Amino acid sequence: MAANHLYLVDGSGYIFRAYHRLPPLTNRHGVPAGAVYGFTTMMWKLVDELHRAEGPTHMAVIFDASSKTFRNDMYDQYKAHRPPPPEDLVPQFPLIRDATRAFSIPCIEEVGLEADDIIACYAKAALAAGWKVTIVSSDKDLMQLIEPGLDMLDTMNNRRLGPEHVIEKFGVPPEQLGDVLALMGDSVDNVPGVPGIGPKTASELVRTYGDVEAVLAAAEQIKKPKLRQSLIDHADNARLSRELVRLVCDRPLPEPLDDLALKGLPPEPLRAFLEDMGFRSLLAKLGGPQPAAAPAASIDEEVDPPFVHKDYETVVDEAALDRWIAAAYAATQIAVDTETDGIDCVRAKLVGISLATAPGKACYIPLGHGLAGDDLLAEPPTQLPAELVLAKLKPLLEDPSILKIGQNLKYDLIMFRRHGVDVTPYDDTMLLSYDLDAGLGGHGMDDLAKRHLDHACIEFKTVCGTGKTQISFDKVALPQATEYAAEDADVTLRLWRRLKPRLAREKATRVYELVDRPLVPVIAEMERAGILVDRAELARLSAEFGGEIQRLEGVIHEAAGGPFTIGSPKQLGEVLFERLGLKGGRKGKSGVYSTDVNEMERLAGEGVAVARLVLEWRQLSKLKATYTDALQAQINPETGRVHTSFGLATAQTGRLSSTDPNLQNIPIRTETGRRIRDAFVAAPGNVLLSADYSQIELRLAAHMADVPALQQAFARGDDIHNLTAQELFGEVNRDTRGRAKTINFAILYGISSWGLAGRLGVDRGEAQAMIDRYFERFPGINRYIADTLAELREHGYVTTLFGRKTHLPGIKAKTVGERQAAERQAINAPIQGTSADIIKRAMVRMGPALAAAGLGHVRMLLQVHDELVFEAPEADAPAAAEVIRETMARAAEPAVTLSVPLGVEVGIGKSWGAAH
């Protein structure tokens, strides 16, 4: 007979995690029961493993009896800052106790003791009796108990945690963990710890000195001054923390060990409990007669199984591949992810493909894995040939009846396109999240897994390392590669099951189907195309700027009376306002003098010559470092072109973003800067076309706020800033037009008298008077602002004309500053976002429109918010210009009919600068 094996379930810990992991389900009484359901299925699984070698023979579920414990006698602030549990969780606490009793398993709690302490007492007693022990929890405090014969089970991720896990996570074995936890403190439990010491420092100190007392004894010798002082100042807190995290394990057991024996799944009273809760699928598993009428309960939506990385399959033979393809056809949908040897999807090589057909059912098909080291004798791992796999997958990936699901599919689409596969139809979980939850957090897979699945994905760096020790994915051994890659597909599929049903319910279908999803292949093609830059011209500019920078440096250093780092705002401020004794230096919150362009312009206006020189130096340094130098380095050696990456789910408002390099901030305002734009050129025989919407946001504001005066002005083609100047100031000249333009922008940005005053250089009263006059002359604006803020307060988000949402949780913030910021964002987001929707629709239609006109070879290269850049054979440019103009001007139709025309200006030239 094998040794007894006691499972101690941390009931309190489990319920919180289950609550956040599972959707907010209710049972047949309409009572929230998601966490209860999760708990019940977990208990079922554990009890069912009775016959297994590692399975339980004895079990108990431990709860916290009260909020006050002996630790509060030691420290009255212990757990003092805990917020009360969420409202819909409270009624689930007693139900979880009911569930436990339904399994005929003891619920154990003890006044004055925390669940952790009771668990510790039972664990020690069982170990002393020669039993094995498993603690079902992922609480870091309980990890102190790990020792031979005792492990922990994290049922959320289905991982067993042993001493090596503690060492990996905290750098010390379990017996020293209490010392590390004490030093680092815990803000949730309000364990004070020592200020300035986090997990890293705590671990290092304990590794060096042994325990808290030894660290404190050695405090005087510690090199780092801040750390030394903090240890000395907070020695008492360190000792107190050590006691707070120490688990009590010497109390008498509330129930004897033998009473915890497990007898298997008891049909009664479990059946009664399941019936009462309406957990039908579990009831069915229990067997026997079923209740007649199926209650209208949502609880039996299948809850996802835990993540079991070892269950993922590495596909290295044809039969296995065929099996997965068959499973995909049977499921009618499949999550797909590609692994490559780099970030740059234009250059990177395909290394493997992962698939998932159901939650927990995922595989990895390695294609291009080599060897980790450079062992010349070893053979690369056995893999299927890439051509074979792609040929077998192609019909599936292109099958119109099978939905392909990806996370940021743009990347994978480019990868597959390069291998002759056109993936269709598809869903993108990143975009689903973006169109449902913009403003509520990131949309990367790690963010989404955390938010929706309470799951921490395997980090890329734990597989591939970081910094100079980083390896590319093809060097990762197959077992780890499989766990990482297949998990991505598994997570993607689970996310899709959560997000897709929300789309229609939350009215995000239109923007997803009509705007963002169809944009993916369009953007993919733009990135693949890239844009040609004249490397020699950039190099010439770099040299020229470099020479001028050197010259300016000499003059500035001379004027300053000695060399210093001009690029350091700290040093520059000290030179100007201390060494040179200039007046009016304003220090910011970090104690550094402000040296920004406003401040330097002020000094220059007061006759300080060096301020003007510094501004020139700054401009040239910026242009050289950010543009002429950096862009040369970004040229793809294979294509000779620069391939930016457009972010589809980055901006809160629906705009695109551009990185690596950012081609949406190429200079244009200054003459020197514009020379950089001239280095963006068309390929030989071609020209660049630049098409931009003129004042689209003001036009949209005129429409959305329904301001007849502005609408008529746009319809007539009048200069809108002149009109505004006439209305506000009664006369039109350079000065009033400039001020009117500033005010027009201020309206779009969510006006405040304070901000406008700063911009115009007038006092707040004057600014407010102008705003009042603006509202009076254009009354719709006032109403738009009021309606938009009402929408925000009611729903927590605002919407564009196409239904795109921007959530602004800041509206409920504690400080007025934050709430006002949210209000300004709310006024701007519908306008900026509608503009983004419109140009995206133009982009989606552009390919077909050009193709229909026999201009299919005209390539769209860039988008800069209100501008599109194309490359076309010289002879086709005039015809292309007309198609582009039409497509952009009509892009809102027919979904939205605007009360203003959309003006589009098209320029043609050999370079981007010339096309403007």
Partner DNA sequence: ATTGCGCCCTA
Partner DNA sequence: GTAGGGCGCAATG
Site residues (CB under 7 A) for DNA, limited to 152-181: none
Residue 689's DSSP bridge partners are 870, 908
Work out whether 657 is an interface residue with DNA (CB under 7 A): yes
Work out whether 830 is an interface residue with DNA (CB under 7 A): no
Mark the segment that binds DNA (CB under 7 A) among 348-356, 585-593, 679-687, 885-893: 585-593
CA angle 123, 129, 135 (to 5 degrees): 25
Instruction: Tell me the closest approach of the beta carbon of residue 359 to DNA, in angstroms.
Output: 31
Per-residue burial over 444-453, b if 16 or more Cβ lie within 10 Å, else e, is bbebbbbbbb
Of the candidates 352, 750, 830, 913, which one interacts with DNA according to CB under 7 A? 750
Work out whether 768 is an interface residue with DNA (CB under 7 A): no
Work out whether 756 is an interface residue with DNA (CB under 7 A): yes
Please, which residue, 755 or 909, has the CB nearer to DNA?
755
Question: Which residues in 105-134 contact DNA (CB under 7 A)?
Answer: none
Classified as helix, coil or strand, 383 is: coil
Work out whether 480 is an interface residue with DNA (CB under 7 A): no
Work out whether 622 is an interface residue with DNA (CB under 7 A): yes
Which of 578, 584, 622, 629 minimizes the C-alpha distance to 602? 584
Question: Which residues in 399-458 contact DNA (CB under 7 A)?
Answer: none
Instruction: Tell me the closest approach of the beta carbon of residue 821 to DNA, in angstroms.
Output: 5
Residue identified by tokens 């590390």 is: 180
Please, which residue, 289 or 467, has the CB nearer to DNA?
467
Of the candidates 332, 462, 659, 733, which one interacts with DNA according to CB under 7 A? 659
Residue 909's DSSP bridge partners are 688
**Alpha-helical regions (H) of 28-173:** 34-48, 70-74, 92-102, 115-128, 163-170
Dmax (CA) for the chain in angstroms is 100
Question: Which residues in 852-871 contact DNA (CB under 7 A)?
Answer: 864-867
Work out whether 742 is an interface residue with DNA (CB under 7 A): yes
Work out whether 755 is an interface residue with DNA (CB under 7 A): yes
Which of 808, 886, 799 minimizes the C-alpha distance to 848? 886
Count of residues in contact with DNA, rule CB under 7 A: 78
Of the candidates 466, 509, 550, 636, which one interacts with DNA according to CB under 7 A? 466
**Main-chain phi, psi angles of 639, to 5 degrees:** -100, -15
Mark the segment that binds DNA (CB under 7 A) among 8-16, 106-114, 539-547, 643-651: 643-651
Question: Which residues in 267-286 contact DNA (CB under 7 A)?
Answer: none
Work out whether 911 is an interface residue with DNA (CB under 7 A): no
Of the candidates 467, 562, 581, 607, which one interacts with DNA according to CB under 7 A? 467
Work out whether 636 is an interface residue with DNA (CB under 7 A): no
Please, which residue, 497 or 805, has the CB nearer to DNA?
805
Instruction: Tell me the closest approach of the beta carbon of residue 916 to DNA, in angstroms.
Output: 8
Work out whether 229 is an interface residue with DNA (CB under 7 A): no
Work out whether 471 is an interface residue with DNA (CB under 7 A): no
**Length of the chain, in residues:** 916
Work out whether 695 is an interface residue with DNA (CB under 7 A): no
Please, which residue, 75 or 564, has the CB nearer to DNA?
564
Instruction: Tell me the closest approach of the beta carbon of residue 847 to DNA, in angstroms.
Output: 22
Measure the CA–CA gap between 788 and 805, rounded to whole angstroms: 12
Instruction: Tell me the closest approach of the beta carbon of residue 657 to DNA, in angstroms.
Output: 3
Residue identified by tokens 């835990």 is: 306
Please, which residue, 313 or 629, has the CB nearer to DNA?
629
Question: Which residues in 196-225 contact DNA (CB under 7 A)?
Answer: 196, 198, 200-201, 224
Of the candidates 670, 715, 731, 738, which one interacts with DNA according to CB under 7 A? 670
Long-range contacts made by residues 257-260, C-beta under 8 angstroms, separation at least 24? 257/6, 257/58, 257/122, 257/125, 257/126, 257/129, 257/131, 258/58, 259/106, 260/6, 260/58, 260/59, 260/60, 260/105, 260/106
Asked if residue 269 has a cis previous peptide bond (ω within 30° of 0), the answer is: yes
Q: Contact at 8 Å (CB) between 161 and 154?
A: yes
What is the token pair recorded at 466? 């970081």
Instruction: Tell me the closest approach of the beta carbon of residue 546 to DNA, in angstroms.
Output: 12
Work out whether 843 is an interface residue with DNA (CB under 7 A): no
Q: How many CA atoms lie within 13 A of 156 on its CB side?
A: 22
What is the token pair recorded at 880? 């292309």
Question: Which residues in 866-895 contact DNA (CB under 7 A)?
Answer: 866-867
One-letter identity of residue 610 = V
Please, which residue, 507 or 586, has the CB nearer to DNA?
586
Measure the CA–CA gap between 693 and 845, rounded to whole angstroms: 16
Q: What is the DSSP-derived secondary structure letter of residue 266?
A: -
Instruction: Tell me the closest approach of the beta carbon of residue 200 to DNA, in angstroms.
Output: 4
Of the candidates 158, 298, 424, 650, which one interacts with DNA according to CB under 7 A? 650
Which of 140, 141, 123 minimizes the C-alpha distance to 132? 123
Mark the segment that binds DNA (CB under 7 A) among 120-128, 464-472, 701-709, 903-911: 464-472
Compute the Cα dihedral for 503, 505, 508, 514 and give only its sign: positive
Of the candidates 281, 652, 694, 726, which one interacts with DNA according to CB under 7 A? 652
Of the candidates 51, 52, 310, 468, which one interacts with DNA according to CB under 7 A? 468
Distances (CA, A) of 406 to 209, 373, 432, 442: 49, 32, 11, 16
Q: Contact at 8 Å (CB) between 149 and 127?
A: yes
Question: Which residues in 557-576 contact DNA (CB under 7 A)?
Answer: 565, 567-571, 573
Q: Contact at 8 Å (CB) between 19 and 144?
A: no
Work out whether 661 is an interface residue with DNA (CB under 7 A): yes
Residue 905's DSSP bridge partners are 692
Of the candidates 821, 889, 896, 914, which one interacts with DNA according to CB under 7 A? 821
Question: Which residues in 588-617 contact DNA (CB under 7 A)?
Answer: 588-590, 592, 594-597, 599-600, 615
Work out whether 310 is an interface residue with DNA (CB under 7 A): no
